[in-house]
Structure formats: C-alpha cells, structure tokens
A = this chain, B = another copy of it.
Amino acid sequence: MIFTERQIEIIDASKDLIGEKGVQNLTIKNLAKKMSFTEPALYRHFKDKTQILKGLLLFHREAIKNGVFKILDSDKNALEKIEAVLKFKFAHVEKNPALVMVIFSETSFQYCSVLSKVVRKILDQRKKKIISLIENGQNEGSIRTDINSQQLATIVLGGIRTTILSWRLSGFESDLKTEGEKLWETLEILFKK
C-alpha cells in the first residue's frame, strides 16, 4: 500500500487524536479540526473512516517491519536478536502511544474515568494476589528465587492474557482449556527451583 503526502499527514493526525484520548476521540470532526480543514475534504483522501484506520495500521506495520528486518538481518545470535527486537518494539511504542491504544487497546474505558478506575482496581488486585502467591512459593522453596516475584507475576499475567487473546482471535474456536493447561505446564517448568 502506498500513501500520498496528505494521506500520511492525516494518518499522523489520527494517531495524535487517538494518543490523546483513545480511539473514540478519532471522529471525522476532530480529524478535520486537527488538519485545519473541513470534514468533506477528508473524503478526497480516504474513501471512509475505516480506510483511515486501516491506513494507520498498515503504515506503522511497515515502519515496524523495516526496523525488525534490519535486526533479523544482522549477524547477532538468536538471543541477542530477540533482545534487540524487544528493545526496538518498546522504543517504537514509547514514541507512538497511539499504537498501544489501537492494537493493544486493553479496555474501551481508558477515558471514561468511572470505568477505567474500576478496571484498574480489578487488574491491580489480581496482580497483587499473584505476586503474593509467588512469594509464598519462594518461601516454601518450590519456586525459584533468582527472579523476583514482581517479574514472575508479569510472566504469569502475560501468559494468561496472550492465551486468552489467541482464543479470542480464533473466534473462540480453539480450546481454551487445553491451551490453559499447556501454559501451566510451561510455567511450572520455568518456575520450579
């Protein structure tokens, strides 16, 4: 996919709008305002709103692809490459928070303060519980102590999240129970002393 200069400007403005107040802040009205021209002008450059969002996704995928390609093409070993890819990803995301909103958007409530507080609290409590469980295991001697409980909790929560996401993206067709068991087998091996 190839974009005109104006299209890239519009994609950029969309990214900013989303970065400011989430996906629901991306309206034709706001976008036109940010571009300093009127709403119908947008339709000279994109067929409809969906195409703008699609453009945003594809444009940044290109950028990430190129960055990752350079890393994969270097003469590092595999571990070093993974490290470099991770660092590149985090750096790119940090520079483009809007992408987090779009692709990684975890809740639709980020900007509804009432609901985002509730969600935050739920996620927080969940994390605390996992951490204290892990600490118990470390004190018991059943879980390795060379990695701190906070970091191990990140691994557990991440595993859960990714497993559920895969299930969702499969249209709820894959077997979540089996996938959950596989995850546990992995975590058990990784965590045991």
Contacts and interface: CB of A to CB of B under 8 A. Distances in A.
Nearest to A148: B186
A140 to B, nearest CB: 5
Interface string A127-142: 0011001101110101
Where chain A touches its partner, the secondary structure class is helix
Contacts of A142: 77-79
A24 to B, nearest CB: 8
Interface of A: 23, 50, 53-54, 57-58, 61, 68, 72, 77-79, 81-83, 85-87, 89-91, 93-94, 97, 100-110, 112, 114-115, 118-120, 122-123, 129-130, 133-134, 136-138, 140, 142-143, 146-147, 151-152, 154-169, 172, 176-177, 179-192
